[in-house]
C-alpha cells in the first residue's frame, strides 16, 4: 500500500510539473513581452514624475539614452535580459508558481480591487464551489438512487425513462440548455434573473438570500442535465453486480429485494461510483467555464473566460495551475479510494 | 469479449431499435451535408462574416413558417429582383419602366422598402418612383435626377423609404388619407388603408421610371426590397445573416470534426494501448505513465490556451482535440490486449517466429475492432460538443460558420434575453441530434460487444 501511494504521488507531482511547464512554454513569449512593456512603462513613469531628473538633461537624445539604460538595468536585475525560454527563467517562473506566487494581473481585479492573482482566484473559488459542488452533490444523490431503483427493476417504466433521459440529456451541451433556460425562465416567464451575479454588495444581510435566488437557475440547469448520466452509470454498474452469484445466493436465502439492492449491491458498486464522484467533484471546480460564462456566475470559470478574452496571462496561468492541482488531488484521492475498496488494484496486477 | 463475427454484429445491430434510429438520423444528416455542399456555393459561407454580402437581408427576422401559427401575419421580407421591364422611346426621350408587383397579405406594416439599382448612362436621367395600391390609388413617391455625366458612367444607388423627399411627396398627397400623416413613416403610409392607419392587403405595383434624353440607360442591377420581419426557413440574425445557410453548412463541418477526431483518436489509442499491452514490462510501464500524464491534464483549459496561443484554425483544433481523445481508449485497449495476449493462438504465432508487428496487426487488433467501432461512435458527440463549446467561447475558427459559432453570436447579442428563439434553438438542437445519432449507434454496438449490459 505504501509503495502504491508513493508511486501515485510521484506520478501526480510529475504531471503537475509537466502541466506547469507546458503552460509556461505556451504563454511564455507573450508573458515576456508584457513584463518588458510593464518595466518600460514603470521606468518612464518614475522618471517623468521627478522633474529634477528631466531638467538635468540638455537634449532629448541624452534623456532617451538615460531611460534606455535604466530599463536595461532593471531588466538585468529581474533577469529579463535572458530569453524567456532559458532554463533559469522557466525554472524561476515555475518555482514562483509552485509557491502560489502568480504575480499581478494585467487587467482584471478582484471585487475589492486587488490585482494580486492569488486574491482574485481565492475570491472566485468559493463561489464556484458553492454552485457546482452543490450541484454535483445533488446530482450524485439523485443519480445513485435513481440508478439503483432502475437497476432493481430492469425493463420497467422507471428504468426505460431513466435510460432514455440519460442518453438524450447527455447529448445536449449544458450551456445551450442554460441559454434556453434563461430564455424561458427569465425572458418568457420572468421568474429568475438572467444574470446570476448578485446585484447587492456582500456586506448586506440580504446578500445570502439574493445569492441563492440568483443561483437557482444555473443550479436547476446543471442538475437537470447531469443526473441522467449518473443514474445510467450507476444502473449499469449495478446491473453487472446483480448478476453475480452472491446476489443470487442472497435472493435464494430470502433476503428482501430492496435490502439486497440498497445494501449489498450498492456497496459492491461503490468503488467505481466513488471514483467518479471524486472526479466529478474536482471537475466541478473547473469544467464549468462555458456554463459560468452563459449564466454570468462570478466564479472561476468566468474568471478564466474573462482572462482569456483580455489575454491576462498571469491569471490564465494561475487559474490553470489551481485547476490542475485540484484535478490531480482528486484523481489521487480517487485512486486511493479505489485501492481501499478494491484490494486488487493495490498490488498492481 | 469473445470473438463475434461481423455478420453476427450486423444481425444484432439490425434488431436494435436505437441503432436503426441512429443510422436513420445519421443518414439524413449526411444527406443534409451533401445538399449543403451542392446547393450552397462555397463562396457563400466564406462570406459568412462579410456584412456587405448580407446587406439586403432583414435584421433578426423570424422564420417565415411562424406565420402558419399566427393569427396576425408577420410581414415577410421580400427581395424582388426580376422586374417587369418596359422600354418606350418617344423621339428623343427614352423611358425605361421597371415594375415590381408584390402581394402584401400581412397584418403589420413592413419595416421599410429599399430600391437598389445600378445603371450605365450618360447625360442626366430622371428617376421617378410611384406605387399603385390595391385600392387603385396611385402615390407618387420620389422624383429625382441622377448625377450628370458627360460620358458613359456606372452609377449605383440605394433609395430608402426613410428618404426625406419620399415623406415630403407623401405629405403633399395627404388629402388622399383620412388621418394625420405627420408622425408616420413612409412605409406606414404607403401600405395603409386610406380611412385608418391599418395595413391594406392586396397587390401593390411599384414602378420605377427612368427618363433620359438621347441615349438609353443600361440597367445593370434593379432590386426592390420590402423589409419585413420574417425571412427564410430559419430566420436571420442581428448581422442580417441567413441562419439557414449557417445551419446547413454547420452539418458537414460538425460531421467532419466529430468523425475525424474520433476515428483518429480511436486508431491512435488502439495502436498505443495494444502495443503497450503486448510488449509488457518496461515498455508497458513507460507508455502507461506517459498515458497517465496526458490523462491528468485538464482538457478544456488546455484546449483554450492552445487555441489562444497557437492557432484557432479548424484543422489545428481537430488536432488538439485528438491529443486529448485517445488517452482513455488506450487504457481500455491495453487491458483488452493483455487478455488476448494469453490466448493460445498468439503464443503459437509467437513461437512460429512471426514479427511483433504482424502479431499485433493480424491477431490482436481484429479482435478489438467491434470495441473500436463502438468507441468511435461514442466519442463523436464529445468531440462535437467540445468544438461547439470552444466556438461558443469565441475561440473557434471565425471563417467557418459552425453551430457553436452561431450560438456564440447569439449569446453576444443577448439572443436569449431578447427572446430570439430561432437564433438559439436550431443550432443547439442540431448539435444534440447529431450527438444523439452517434450515441444511439454507439449504444447499440456497445450492447452487442459487451454482453454484460444485456438483460
pLDDT tens per residue across span A201-251: 666 777 777 778 888 888 888 888 888 888 888 888 887 777 778 878 887
Of A269, A272, A276, the C-alpha closest to A241 is A269
pLDDT of res. A286 = 54
Mean pLDDT throughout B425-437? 89
pLDDT value at B19 more than 70: yes
Q: Is A314 helix (H, G, I), strand (E, B) or coil?
A: helix
| Closest by Cβ to B305, choosing from A168, A320, A328 | A320
Instruction: Give pLDDT, residue A342.
Output: 67
Q: In what order do the strands lie in the sheet with B78-80?
A: B78-80, B218-227, B112-123, B149-160
What is the rounded distance in angstroms from the CA atom of residue B128 to the CA atom of residue B117?
13
Q: Does B21 touch chain A (CB under 8 A)?
A: no
Report pLDDT digits (tens) over B362-377. Answer: 888 887 887 788 888 8
Specify the pLDDT at position B163.
83
> CB of B187 within 8 A of CB of B225?
no
Three-class secondary structure of residue A316 per DSSP: helix
pTM of the model: 0.79
Per-residue pLDDT band for B24 (boundaries 50, 70, 90) equals: very high
Long-range CB contacts (< 8 A, 24+ apart) of A220-224?
A220/A181, A221/A174, A221/A177, A221/A178, A221/A181, A221/A291, A221/A295, A222/A131, A222/A132, A222/A135, A222/A139, A222/A174, A222/A288, A222/A291, A223/A135, A223/A138, A223/A139, A223/A142, A224/A169, A224/A177
Average confidence (pLDDT) over B390-410: 84
Report whether A320 contacts B298 (CB < 8 A).
Answer: yes
Q: Mean pLDDT lowest for which of A28-32, B226-230, B431-435?
A: A28-32
Q: Tell me: pLDDT of A196 over 70.
A: no
Tell me: pLDDT of A346 over 60. no
pLDDT of B392 reads 85
Give the pLDDT of residue A344.
63
d(CA A200, CA B363): 67
C-alpha closest to that of B424 among B74, B62, B51, B52:
B62
Which one is predicted more confidently, B432 or B455? B432
**pLDDT beyond 50 at B450:** yes
Given this model, what pLDDT does residue B260 score?
A: 93
Rg (CA), chain B: 32
Average pLDDT, whole number, for chain B? 83
Q: How far is CA A319 from CA A80, A300, A312, B294, B320, in A?
A: 24, 8, 11, 19, 20
Helix (H, G, I), strand (E, B) or coil at A312: coil
Per-residue pLDDT reduced to its tens digit, B225-248: 888 888 888 888 888 888 888 888
Confidence at residue B263, expressed as pLDDT on a 0 to 100 scale: 92
What are the pLDDT digits (tens) for B331-357? 888 888 887 877 788 888 888 888 888
B292, B300, B308 ranked by CB distance to A289: nearest? B300
Structural contact between residues B174 and B150, judged by C-beta atoms closer than 8 angstroms: no
Predicted pLDDT at B120: 85
Phi-psi region of B280 (alpha: psi -120 to 50; beta: other; left: phi over 0): left
The CA distance from A317 to A94, in Å, is 10
Cβ atoms of residues A136 and A280 within 8 Å:
yes
What was the pLDDT predicted at B412?
A: 84
Please check whether residue A328 touches B, CB under 8 A. yes
How far B145 CA sits from the closest chain A CA (Å)? 49
pLDDT of residue B127: 87
What confidence category does residue A258 fall into, taking pLDDT thresholds of 50, 70 and 90? confident
**In the structure grid, which three cell numbers stand for residue B424, read together?**
438559439
The pLDDT tens digits of the residues spanning B69-113 come to 877 888 888 888 888 888 887 777 888 888 888 888 888 888 888
Cα distance between residue A151 and residue A231, in whole Å: 9
Cα separation, B440 vs B22, in Å, equals 5
Residue found under cell 488538439? B320
Cα–Cα distances in Å, from A42 out to A50, A55, A115?
13, 19, 16
Neighbour tally for A198: CB within 10 Å: 21
- In the stretch 81-140 of chain A, residues with CB closer than 8 A to chain B read none
Q: What percent of chain A has pLDDT over 70?
A: 92
Q: How does residue B452 score in pLDDT terms, banded at 50, 70 and 90? A: low
With 90 as the cut, is the pLDDT of residue B210 above it? Answer: no
Cβ-based neighbours of B429, under 8 Å, separated by 6 or more: none
Residue A138 has pLDDT above 50, yes or no: yes
Mean pLDDT, residues B203-207 taken together: 87
Q: Is A194 on the interface with B (CB under 8 A)?
A: yes
Residue B27 pLDDT level (bands cut at 50, 70, 90): very high
User: Which chain A positions have a beta carbon within 8 Å of B410's beta carbon?
Assistant: 179
Among B348, B355, B299, smallest CA distance to B322 is for B299
Specify the pLDDT at position A1: 65
Q: Which of A183, A239, A324 sits opposite B416 (nearest CB)?
A: A183
pLDDT at A345: 57
Contact B100, B206 (CB under 8 A): yes
Residue A159 has a pLDDT of 84
Question: Would you call B251 exposed, middle or buried from its count of C-beta atoms within 10 A (0-12, 13-18, 19+)?
Answer: buried
Note the pLDDT of residue B454. 45
Quick one: pLDDT at residue A349?
Answer: 43
The verdict on a CB contact (< 8 Å) between A289 and B296 is no
Q: Classify A116 as helix, strand or coil.
A: strand
CA-CA distance, A211 to B158, in Å (whole number)?
A: 52
Please state which of the ranges A66-75, A80-89, A281-290 shows the lowest mean pLDDT. Answer: A281-290
Residue B2 reports pLDDT greater than 60 = no
Name the residue of chain B whose CA is nearest to A291's CA: B389
Exposure of B72 by Cβ count < 10 A (0-12 exposed, 13-18 middle, 19+ buried)? exposed
Helix/strand/coil (H, E, C) string of B411-449?
A: HHCCHHHHCCHHHHHHHHHHHHHHHHHHHHHHHHHHHHH
Kindly report the CA angle at B43 between B41 and B49, in degrees rounded to 5? 125
Q: What is d(CA B184, CA A222) in angstroms, rounded to the nearest whole number?
A: 49
B450 in A contact zone (CB under 8 Å): no
Q: Given this model, what pLDDT does residue B264 score?
A: 93
The confidence band for B1, taking pLDDT boundaries of 50, 70 and 90, is very low
**By the CB < 8 Å criterion, does A22 face chain B?**
yes
Q: Which of B309, B427, B441, B446 to mutate to test the interface with A (most CBs of A within 10 A)?
A: B309
Distance CA B384, CA B364 (A): 30
Structure confidence at residue A347 (pLDDT):
56
Q: Is pLDDT larger for residue B40 or for residue B130?
A: B130
Which chain B residues contact residue A331 at CB under 8 A?
Answer: 296
Amino acid at each position: 500500500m505504501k509503495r502504491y501511494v508513493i508511486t501515485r504521488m510521484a506520478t501526480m507531482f510529475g504531471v503537475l510539473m509537466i502541466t506547469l511547464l507546458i503552460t509556461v512554454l505556451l504563454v511564455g513569449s507573450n508573458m515576456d513581452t508584457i513584463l518588458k512593456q510593464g518595466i518600460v512603462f514603470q521606468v518612464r513613469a518614475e522618471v517623468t514624475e521627478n522633474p529634477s531628473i528631466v531638467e538635468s538633461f540638455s537634449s532629448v537624445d541624452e534623456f532617451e539614452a538615460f531611460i534606455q539604460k535604466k530599463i536595461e538595468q532593471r531588466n538585468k536585475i529581474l533577469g529579463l535580459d535572458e530569453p524567456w525560454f532559458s532554463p533559469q527563467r522557466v525554472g524561476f517562473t515555475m518555482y514562483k508558481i509552485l509557491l502560489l506566487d502568480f504575480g499581478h494581473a494585467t487587467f482584471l481585479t478582484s471585487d475589492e480591487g486587488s490585482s494580486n492573482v492569488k486574491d482574485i482566484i481565492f475570491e472566485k473559488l468559493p463561489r464556484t464551489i458553492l454552485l457546482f459542488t452543490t450541484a454535483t452533490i445533488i446530482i450524485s444523490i439523485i443519480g445513485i438512487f435513481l440508478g439503483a431503483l432502475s437497476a432493481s427493476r430492469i425493463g420497467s417504466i422507471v428504468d426505460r425513462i431513466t435510460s432514455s433521459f440519460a442518453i438524450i440529456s447527455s447529448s445536449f451541451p449544458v450551456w445551450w440548455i442554460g441559454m434556453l433556460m434563461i430564455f424561458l425562465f427569465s425572458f418568457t416567464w420572468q421568474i429568475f434573473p438572467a444574470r446570476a451575479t448578485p446585484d447587492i454588495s456582500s456586506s448586506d444581510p440580504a446578500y445570502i438570500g439574493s445569492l441563492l435566488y440568483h443561483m437557482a437557475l444555473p443550479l436547476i440547469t446543471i442538475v437537470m442535465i447531469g443526473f441522467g448520466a449518473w443514474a445510467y452509470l450507476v444502473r449499469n454498474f449495478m446491473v453487472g453486480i446483480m448478476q453475480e452469484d452472491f446476489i443470487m445466493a442472497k435472493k435464494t436465502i430470502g433476503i428482501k429485494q430492496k435490502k439486497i439492492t440498497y445494501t449489498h449491491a450498492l456497496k459492491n458498486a461503490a468503488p467505481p461510483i466513488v471514483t467518479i464522484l471524486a472526479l466529478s467533484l474536482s471537475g466541478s471546480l473547473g469544467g464549468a467555464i462555458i456554463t459560468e460564462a452563459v449564466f454570468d456566475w462570478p466564479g472561476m470559470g468566468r474568471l478564466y473566460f474573462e482572462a482569456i478574452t483580455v489575454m491576462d496571462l498571469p491569471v490564465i496561468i494561475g487559474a490553470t495551475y489551481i485547476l490542475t492541482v485540484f484535478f490531480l488531488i482528486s484523481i489521487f484521492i480517487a485512486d486511493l479510494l479505489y485501492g481501499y475498496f478494491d484490494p486488487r488494484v493495490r498490488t498492481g496486477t | 469479449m469473445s470473438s463475434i463475427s461481423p455478420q453476427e454484429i450486423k444481425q444484432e445491430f439490425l434488431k436494435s431499435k436505437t441503432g436503426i434510429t441512429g443510422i436513420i438520423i445519421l443518414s439524413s444528416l449526411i444527406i443534409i451535408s451533401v445538399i449543403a455542399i451542392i446547393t450552397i456555393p462555397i463562396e457563400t459561407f466564406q462570406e459568412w462574416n462579410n456584412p456587405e454580402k448580407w446587406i439586403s437581408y432583414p435584421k433578426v427576422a423570424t422564420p417565415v413558417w411562424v406565420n402558419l401559427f399566427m393569427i396576425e401575419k408577420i410581414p415577410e421580407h421580400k427581395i424582388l429582383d426580376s422586374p417587369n421591364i418596359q422600354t418606350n422611346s418617344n423621339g428623343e426621350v427614352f423611358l425605361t419602366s421597371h415594375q415590381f408587383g408584390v402581394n402584401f397579405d400581412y397584418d403589420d406594416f413592413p419595416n421599410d422598402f429599399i430600391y437598389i439599382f445600378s445603371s450605365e448612362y450618360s447625360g442626366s436621367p430622371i428617376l421617378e418612383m410611384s406605387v399603385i395600391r390595391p385600392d387603385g390609388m396611385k402615390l407618387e413617391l420620389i422624383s429625382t435626377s441622377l448625377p450628370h455625366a458627360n460620358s458613359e458612367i456606372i452609377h449605383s444607388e440605394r433609395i430608402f423609404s426613410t428618404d426625406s423627399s419620399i415623406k415630403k411627396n407623401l405629405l403633399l398627397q395627404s388629402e388622399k388619407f383620412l388621418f394625420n400623416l405627420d408622425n408616420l413613416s413612409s412605409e406606414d403610409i404607403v401600405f395603409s388603408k386610406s380611412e385608418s392607419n391599418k395595413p391594406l392587403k392586396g397587390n401593390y405595383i411599384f414602378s420605377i421610371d427612368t427618363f433620359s434624353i438621347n441615349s438609353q440607360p443600361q440597367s445593370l442591377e434593379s432590386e426592390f426590397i420590402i423589409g419585413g420581419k420574417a425571412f427564410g426557413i430559419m430566420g436571420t440574425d442581428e448581422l442580417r445573416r441567413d441562419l439557414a445557410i449557417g445551419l446547413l453548412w454547420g452539418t458537414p463541418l460538425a460531421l467532419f470534426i466529430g468523425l475525424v477526431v474520433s476515428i483518429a483518436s480511436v486508431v491512435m489509442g488502439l495502436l498505443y494501448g495494444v502495443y503497450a499491452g503486448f510488449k509488457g514490462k518496461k515498455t508497458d510501464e513507460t507508455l502507461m505513465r506517459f498515458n497517465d500524464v496526458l490523462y491528468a491534464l485538464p482538457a478544456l483549459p488546455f484546449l483554450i490556451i492552445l487555441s489562444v496561443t497557437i492557432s484557432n484554425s479548424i484543422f489545428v483544433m481537430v488536432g488538439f482535440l485528438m491529443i486529448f481523445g485517445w488517452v482513455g481508449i488506450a487504457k481500455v485497449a491495453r487491458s483488452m490486449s493483455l487478455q488476448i495476449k494469453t490466448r493460445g493462438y498468439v503464443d503459437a504465432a509467437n513461437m512460429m517466429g512471426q514479427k511483433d508487428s504482424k502479431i499485433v496487426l493480424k491477431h490482436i487488433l481484429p479482435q478489438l475492432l467491434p470495441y473500436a467501432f463502438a468507441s468511435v461512435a461514442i466519442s463523436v458527440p464529445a468531440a462535437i460538443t467540445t468544438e461547439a463549446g470552444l466556438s461558443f467561447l469565441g475561440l473557434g475558427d471565425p471563417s467557418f460558420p459552425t453551430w457553436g459559432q452561431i450560438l456564440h453570436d447569439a449569446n453576444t447579442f443577448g439572443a436569449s434575453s431578447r427572446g430570439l428563439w430561432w437564433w438559439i434553438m436550431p443550432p443547439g438542437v442540431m448539435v444534440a441530434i447529431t450527438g444523439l445519432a452517434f450515441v444511439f449507434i454507439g449504444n447499440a454496438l456497445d450492447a452487442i460487444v459487451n454482453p454484460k449490459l444485456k438483460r
